[in-house]
Amino acid sequence: MYRPERSVGNQLLIAIDCHFRGITPTYVAGFRAFLDLNRCVRKGERAIRILAPCPVKERDDAGEETGERKVFFRSVPVFDVSMTDPLPGKDPVVLEPPSEPITGDSHHHLLAPLVELAGELGYTIEFRDLDEHGPRGWCDAKHKQIVIAAGPANCQVRTLTHEIAHALGIGYADYGREQAEVLVDCVTYVVCSSAGLDIDGESIPYVAGWGEDGALEAVRRYADTVDTVARRIEDALIADSQAEPVEQTKSVA
């Protein structure tokens, strides 16, 4: 998607800000970075604000450096490529995000390592025909079972990632139902984005459903939790990226 190497907090700050502006972000960078890409931010465009680390050397009472550092964060402006125009007389650098629609099967290979991770957590996985108007899956912590609806592989990857985030400890008992659902969808958004699977159409409106102020506060408050869980799932995908496609066991609901 758009610079997925950014921290989870900044990724979600960008996504939520753009959601309320009616923008679908594709590539976000600073003013000077776009100049290097032969593009210039249009006059009058309002910047997206993210947080950048600012390390500061500590000094003792005598003004001498102690060798220690503290890290503060400051707000910095960035822009989406949709806010820019090509520089006159220059060809802009092509920016093509590696994403696929959630309706496809392009990421079927991710199901096997996700199923394996669930097994390591003590969960069994069942792929089942479910009512199309009901939930696409659930995580039963009591019986250690995750159920996923039959359908396109990309949709199953998105749902299975969501339910594994629950299995990794983001449950209703500790966070409350609404908050837990928002946090696991943040995890799902980060993991799928890093794998090149576009789920913006589902995840961003749901996260933003907390309301602008509430959603941004949730991102800031629980960014470390989201980042830790997302990295756990990403590590499993990286470690087993060459796994064979998983054989799905189906039953009729």
pLDDT range class, residue 253, cuts 50, 70, 90: very low
Average pLDDT for 117-145? 91
Burial of residue 44 (number of CB atoms within 10 Å: 0-12, 13-18, 19+): exposed
Instruction: Pull the structure tokens for residue 19.
Output: 């959601």
Q: What is the mean pLDDT of residues 70-92?
A: 90
Residue 102 Cα distances to 65, 161, 198, angstroms: 52, 13, 6
Q: Give the Cα separation of 101 and 154 in Å (integer).
A: 8
More confident residue, 103 or 30: 30
At 217, is the pLDDT very low, low, confident or very high (cuts 50, 70, 90)? low
What confidence category does residue 4 fall into, taking pLDDT thresholds of 50, 70 and 90? very low
Q: Which pLDDT value is given to residue 12?
A: 81
pLDDT at 6: 62
* Helix (H) or strand (E) run with residue 104 in it: none
The pLDDT assigned to 99 comes to 47
Burial category of 127 from C-beta neighbours within 10 Å (exposed 0-12, middle 13-18, buried 19 and up): buried
160 vs 136, higher pLDDT: 160
The pLDDT, as a whole number, for residue 201 is 74
pLDDT at res. 242? 46
Query: Which bin fits 22, alpha (ψ -120 to 50), beta or left (φ > 0)?
Result: left
- Please check whether residue 125 is in contact with residue 115, taking contact to mean a CB–CB distance below 8 angstroms: yes
Distance CA 36, CA 210 (A): 37
124 bridge partner residues: 145
Please count the CA atoms within 13 angstroms of the CA of 249 that sit on its side-chain side: 6
pLDDT grade for 252, boundaries at 50, 70 and 90: very low
> d(Cα 143, Cα 12) in Å, to the nearest integer?
33
CA 233/CA 200 separation, integer angstroms: 19
Quickly list H helices, the chain.
Answer: 8-21, 31-36, 111-120, 153-167, 172-175, 177-194, 200-208, 212-239
